[in-house]
A and B are shown apart, each in its own frame.
Chain A
Amino acid sequence: MAALAHPLRVRVDSKVFPAVGERDATSVLKNISFDVEPGSFVVLTGPSGCGKSTLLNIIAGLDEDYQGSIDFGGNKSLRFAFVFQNPRLLPWRTVYENIALVLPKNDPRIANIPEVLERVGLTAAANAYPEMISLGMQRRAALARAFILEPEFLLMDEPFVSLDDPTAQDLRALLVELWSSRPTTVLFVTHDRAESVMLGTRILRLSAGSANIIEDVKVPLSVADRTDRDKVHAEQKRIFGDG
C-alpha cells in the first residue's frame, strides 16, 4: 500500500459556524496551517469541542464552508478512508457486505476481505448484522472497512471512544499493528493524551476556543515501544507534562 506521494498541505484560515436561532456565530478554527508528511501518523489533540472533528471533516471534503485550502498535491483520485467516531456501518447489511461495499464491483481486493476480517478478529461475525454484535466489534468492522481499501490516506475521528479500557487498548494495538505492516498516512483525532502518544509519530495540540495549533511535537517511539504502557507513559509525561 502506497502512502501519499506528496505531503498533504492543510491551511484553514478561518471556519465559522453561522448563527442559529438565539446562538451567535461562533469561530471554531483560526490560522491552522500544517503539512502531513507521507507515511506519518499525525495525531490532532486538544480539549473536547475545540474543533478537531470539524477540521477532519474539512480535510475529508465533508465541510466546504471554510476559508483556506486543502492540497493533496494535485492527486484527485487519492484513495482515502475515514473511520468515524460512531462506526457508521449500514445496519441492514452484514459485516462482510459493509466491508465489500466500499470496493468497486469485481475489485481484486474483495479477495482480501477474509484475511482482513481474520486480522480484526471478525471471521465468525462476517455474516452478522451490526446491531447484533458489540460496539467493540462494530469498531473493528469499521477499521476493517477502512483497511480493505488499502488507503493512501486514513482519517480517524476518535474511533475508540466510549469503549471500556481493555477493548480500546486492544483496538489501539491492532491499529499500530495494521499501520506498521501496511504503512499509510494517518490523521487521527483524539482528546485522549495517552492514546495520542501511543499511536502518533507526531502530535499537533490544538488550543481550546477558536482553535489554532499551540504545539507540534515528534513522538520518537518504535512500534514495539508503543504497546509498552510504561514507555508510552514516560513519553506522555515528557510531551504533556502530566500522565
Chain B
Amino acid sequence: MSQAVKAPSERFKIGRVGWSLISLAALVLIWQVATLIADSRYLPGPAAVVHVMIREAETGALWSNIAATLIRVAISFVVAMFIGSAIGLALGRYQKADIFFDSWLIFFLNLPALVIIVLCYIWFGLTELAAITAVAVNKIPNVAVTMREGARSLSKDLNEMAFVYRFGKWKTLRHVTVPQLAPFFAAAARSGLALVWKIVLVVEAFGRSEGVGHQLNIAFQLFDVSMILAYALAFIIVVQIIEMAILQPLLARASKWRR
C-alpha cells in the first residue's frame, strides 16, 4: 500500500540540490541568450569568462589575488567581530553607557563605507593597516547592534539558576551566557562575512596593489568585462565554499538542541 502511494513522488523526486542545479543552469542559459542577443564585447558569454578564469588560474594570478583578499577578509572580520562584540555586550549590559553611546552608534552605522575608506587612507596612508581598519570600522557598528540585542535578551531566570546553584563566573559564562549569545553571534558573523568581503574589494580597488579588488580595478580601466566576471565568479565560489563548509556546519551544531 504505502509503496503504491509513494511511487509517483519518488519517481519524479529531484531534491534540493537538483533544483539548485537546474536553477543555476537556467541562469547560465539566460546569460548565454543575452550574450547572443547583445552581441557586444562588453557582455562576454559564459564560455569566454570560464576561459579567462582558467587562464588566470594557470598563471597563478587568480590564486594569489584571492589569497591576498581572503587574508584581509579574515583579519578584518576577526577584528570587527571581536571589537564589535565587546562594544555590543557592554552597551547591552550597562544602560547608562547605552544611552550615552547610542547616538555614536547611529552615526557610525550611517557613515558611508566610502567615507570611512577614503578617510582611513588619508589619515593612515595607503597601508595594509589603513585597509584593514577601514573594513573593520565599517563592520563594527553592525556587530555591536546585533550583540547588544543579544546581551539585552539574556535570561534573568537562567542567571538566577546559575547563581543559586553556585555555577561561578566561568561555568556561567560557558554554559549559560555564551549559548544564549551564540545565535546573535552567528547572525552577526553571517551578515558580517557578506559585508566584509564586499568592502574589502572596494578598499583594495582604492589603495592596494594586489587582491581581487585591485584586479577588478585594472579590468575596469581596460573595460575587460571577461576579467571582471571571471574574478567575481571565482570569488563567489570561494565565499560559498566557506559558507557551506565552515559557517553552516557550525550553525547546525550550535542549534541542534532546538525543537
Whether A129 touches B161, Cβ cut-off 8 Å, given contacts A90-B176, A93-B175, A101-B171, is no
Chain B interface, >50% SS class:
helix
The answer to whether B164 and A82 have CB atoms under 8 Å apart is yes
Chain A interface, >50% SS class:
loop
The answer to whether B157 and A101 have CB atoms under 8 Å apart is no
Give the size category of A's interface with B.
Answer: 20 to 34
Whether A131 touches B257, Cβ cut-off 8 Å, given contacts A81-B165, A90-B175, A90-B179, is yes
The answer to whether A60 and B257 have CB atoms under 8 Å apart is no
Number of A-B contacts (CB under 8 A): 47
Whether A86 touches B157, Cβ cut-off 8 Å, given contacts A92-B179, A101-B167, is yes
Q: Which residue of chain B is the closest to A79 with respect to CB atoms?
A: B166
Interface flag for B158 (CB, 8 Å): yes
The answer to whether A101 and B160 have CB atoms under 8 Å apart is no
Which B135-178 residues have a C-beta within 8 angstroms of A?
157-158, 160-161, 163-165, 167, 171, 175-176
Interface flag for B259 (CB, 8 Å): yes
Return chain A residues, CB-CB under 8 Å to B158: 88, 90
Return chain B residues, CB-CB under 8 Å to A81: 164-165
What sequence of 0s and 1s flags, for each residue 77-95 of chain A, a beta carbon within 8 Å of any chain B beta carbon?
0001110101010111100
Give the size category of B's interface with A.
Answer: 10 to 19
CB distance from B257 to the nearest CB of A (A): 4
What sequence of 0s and 1s flags, for each residue 238-259 of chain B, a beta carbon within 8 Å of any chain A beta carbon?
0000000000000000001111
Return chain B residues, CB-CB under 8 Å to A101: 165, 167, 171, 175
Return chain B residues, CB-CB under 8 Å to A60: 164
The answer to whether B157 and A91 have CB atoms under 8 Å apart is no
The answer to whether A84 and B161 have CB atoms under 8 Å apart is yes
Taken together as a complex, chains A and B put the C-alpha atoms of A66 and B132 apart, in Å, by 52
Interface flag for A62 (CB, 8 Å): yes
Which A88-115 residues have a C-beta within 8 angstroms of B?
88, 90-93, 101-102
Q: Which residue of chain B is the closest to A57 with respect to CB atoms?
A: B160
CB distance from A142 to the nearest CB of B (A): 9
Chain B residues proximal to chain A, CB less than 8 Å: 157-158, 160-161, 163-165, 167, 171, 175-176, 179, 256-259
Chain A residues proximal to chain B, CB less than 8 Å: 60-62, 80-82, 84, 86, 88, 90-93, 101-102, 129-132, 145, 149
The 19 sampled A-B contact pairs (Cβ below 8 Å) are: A61-B164, A62-B164, A80-B164, A81-B164, A82-B165, A84-B160, A84-B161, A88-B157, A93-B257, A101-B167, A101-B175, A102-B165, A129-B256, A129-B257, A129-B258, A129-B259, A130-B257, A131-B259, A149-B165
